[in-house]
Chains A and B, each alone.
Chain A
Amino acid sequence: METQISRRSFLKGGMAAAAGVAAAGVPGSQALAGPDESKQLATLIDISKCVGCEACVDACSEANAAKYPDPQKPFPKMYPNRVPVEDWSDKQDVNDRLTPYNWLFIQHADVEINGEERELTIPRRCMHCTNPPCVKLCPWGAAQQLENGISKIDSDICLGGSKCKKVCPWDIPQRQTGTGLYLDLMPSMAGNGVMYKCDRCYKKVAEGELPACIEACPEDVQTIGPREEIIKKAHALAKEINGYIYGEEENGGTNTIYVSPVPFEDLNKGIETGKGKPHLKPVDDTMAQANHLAAAMIIAPVAGIAAAIGKYFKRSNTVNKGA
């Protein structure tokens, strides 16, 4: 489904890329109005079913252990001094937040349902946005979105600049210093490791298998399928339990749809948020503002040509009047 790009081939630069383009052809863009909901796979997470057993967290770690960073120490001295070293290699067991070694964790929220105090548990990981800013705004193309909607970061190419984290509304990607391509370039002056996040077990999905977290869940909290079907299921479930939906509209739409028995505003108040612990607030479409300007880019040359023609006729009239 997708190909890994080796560090060596990337360093060969344009030649390798050009060869790739020649081999792959220039892919056509699909309907620009929205994501292809029949191709993009989404997951439905029924929060009311989750018991917080962390079977999904353990399964995620086991399935993705080979992808986790193996940093070289000591880390190169980085300039200027403000560049932060982010090292999780000695804290690989941390599982109460997102880290480069933990791409899925369980959030806890104390809420009131029908006058009864109850703790809800929520699996949190990358939302896999339908138009992911982490992918679209990565300056090197290190992050990519697969045709089935999975967004992933290529650890062979990522320089660890953390832009993807800054443009992610939920600050999902996490950095590990001392690993990746930047070590082969200018480790003191540019880059700072590699960013890591859930890739929704893209290899397993490509082989027709379920992502590890879904496969391992004893409560069937998660369902995966084409986005349009998952959205329908989410609405049916929300109607059935008189619940609420999160992820359908957030950031222009995501491929992770939560259904909760309580409003997400209440859930967000109940969860601990902060570094590596994403919120559940409403999120505007971060890519929309700039994308709305795309139409103006088509009109702009027409306006320029019209201005030049207008100038010609204006000058013609002036010359004719003077004659």
Chain B
Amino acid sequence: MDQNLVNTRVVSRPVRWLYLTTTFFLILTGFGQMPIFKRYYVADIPGLGWLAEFFVTHYIHYLGAIVLLALVAYITADYLILKRNSRRLTATGNSRIALLVGILVSGGLLVVRNLTGTNFSHKFIIFLDVTHLGLVMVFLFVSLYCLILKKHWTTER
């Protein structure tokens, strides 16, 4: 591929900020699905009262998921089309991708569960709830590790 087509940065700054903002709100509203923000006064902070409104956090979580799905598809396609020959995924990059896929799949199944007429088994729903939350927690710790040790998603080939 013509190297002029390839930007060495994997994602542009706006895309990176959109990804960080989206994941921040997804994690915030995801934790908001548990009744903790009111109990622990977070929702009492002026401007954060909406965190105690379950339908609001649920709706924002869905909006965040739409943006994240679009971003993941965009970055993946962009990498495969333009950057695959010049950059390769690192071990921490692969780990985070695997976690993200798990989060998206379990989250997607929970969205299906929420539709009228869907009837998953009780055990499967518990499995999805625990898996979705568990993978997010692991993803957070791995991301923190990568941030502190400056581990990147990709490196030059």
Residue interface mask B112-137, A partner, CB < 8 A = 1 = 11111111111111111111011000
Residue interface mask B77-89, A partner, CB < 8 A = 1 = 1100110000000
Smallest CB gap from B127: residue in A: A17
Q: Which of B58, B118, B128, B129 is within 8 Å of A32, CB to CB? A: B118
Smallest CB gap from B119: residue in A: A147
Smallest CB gap from B33: residue in A: A139
CA distance A23 to B122 in the complex (A): 12
Q: Is the CB of A27 within 8 A of B116?
A: no
**Most B C-beta atoms less than 10 A away, residue of A13, A14, A294:** A294
Q: Is the CB of A144 within 8 A of B117?
A: no
A305 close to B (CB within 8 Å): yes
Q: Contacts A18-B127, A309-B81, A312-B81 hold; do A290 and B120 have CB atoms under 8 A apart?
A: no
In the complex, what residues of B have CB within 8 A of residue A30's CB? 117-119
Smallest CB gap from A35: residue in B: B117
CA distance A2 to B81 in the complex (A): 49
Q: Which of A14, A24, A136 is within 8 Å of B130, CB to CB? A: A14
B24 close to A (CB within 8 Å): no
Interface size of B by CB at 8 A reads 55
CA distance A29 to B114 in the complex (A): 11
In the complex, what residues of B have CB within 8 A of residue A131's CB? 114-117
CA distance A10 to B123 in the complex (A): 10
Residue interface mask B34-46, A partner, CB < 8 A = 1 = 1110011100000
Q: Is the CB of B5 within 8 A of A293?
A: no
Within 8 A of A (CB), among B38-77: 39-41, 54-55, 58-59, 62-63, 65-67, 69-77
Within 8 A of B (CB), among A193-219: none
A263 close to B (CB within 8 Å): no
CA distance A290 to B33 in the complex (A): 14
Smallest CB gap from B38: residue in A: A82
Q: Is the CB of A27 within 8 A of B69?
A: no
Q: Is the CB of A20 within 8 A of B62?
A: no
Q: Is the CB of B71 within 8 A of A137?
A: no
A162 close to B (CB within 8 Å): yes
Q: Is the CB of A297 within 8 A of B77?
A: no
B111 close to A (CB within 8 Å): yes
Q: Is the CB of A21 within 8 A of B74?
A: no
A315 close to B (CB within 8 Å): yes
Within 8 A of B (CB), among A265-323: 286-287, 289-291, 293-294, 296-297, 300-305, 307-309, 311-312, 315-316, 319, 322
In the complex, what residues of A have CB within 8 A of residue B78's CB? 308, 311-312
Q: Is the CB of B74 within 8 A of A308?
A: yes
How near does chain A come to B27, taking the closest CB pair, in angstroms? 14
Q: Is the CB of B72 within 8 A of A304?
A: yes
Q: Contacts A300-B66, A300-B67, A309-B81 hold; do A154 and B55 have CB atoms under 8 A apart?
A: no
In the complex, what residues of A have CB within 8 A of residue B77's CB? 304-305, 308-309
Q: Is the CB of B124 within 8 A of A27?
A: yes
Q: Contacts A20-B124, A24-B121, A34-B116 hold; do A312 and B129 have CB atoms under 8 A apart?
A: no
Q: Which of A17, A130, A136, A253 is within 8 Å of B113, CB to CB? A: A136
Residue interface mask B19-31, A partner, CB < 8 A = 1 = 0000000000000
Q: Is the CB of A5 within 8 A of B123?
A: yes
Q: Is the CB of B55 within 8 A of A286?
A: yes
Smallest CB gap from B44: residue in A: A82
Smallest CB gap from A165: residue in B: B35
A167 close to B (CB within 8 Å): yes
Q: Which of A137, A139, A154 is within 8 Å of B122, CB to CB? A: A154
Q: Which of B70, B81, B108 is within 8 Å of A304, CB to CB? A: B70
**26 pairs, A vs B, C-beta closer than 8 Å:** A14-B130, A17-B131, A20-B126, A26-B124, A27-B119, A33-B117, A34-B117, A131-B116, A137-B54, A137-B58, A139-B35, A141-B125, A145-B119, A167-B55, A289-B55, A291-B115, A297-B108, A300-B66, A304-B71, A304-B76, A305-B77, A308-B76, A311-B78, A312-B5, A312-B78, A312-B82
User: B residues near A, CB below 8 A?
Assistant: 2, 4-5, 33-36, 39-41, 54-55, 58-59, 62-63, 65-67, 69-78, 81-82, 108, 111-131, 133-134
Question: Known contacts A29-B117, A131-B117; can you find 17 more A-B pairs with CB under 8 A?
Answer: A14-B130, A20-B127, A24-B123, A29-B112, A30-B118, A36-B119, A137-B114, A141-B129, A166-B54, A289-B55, A289-B59, A290-B55, A293-B63, A297-B62, A300-B67, A301-B73, A308-B76
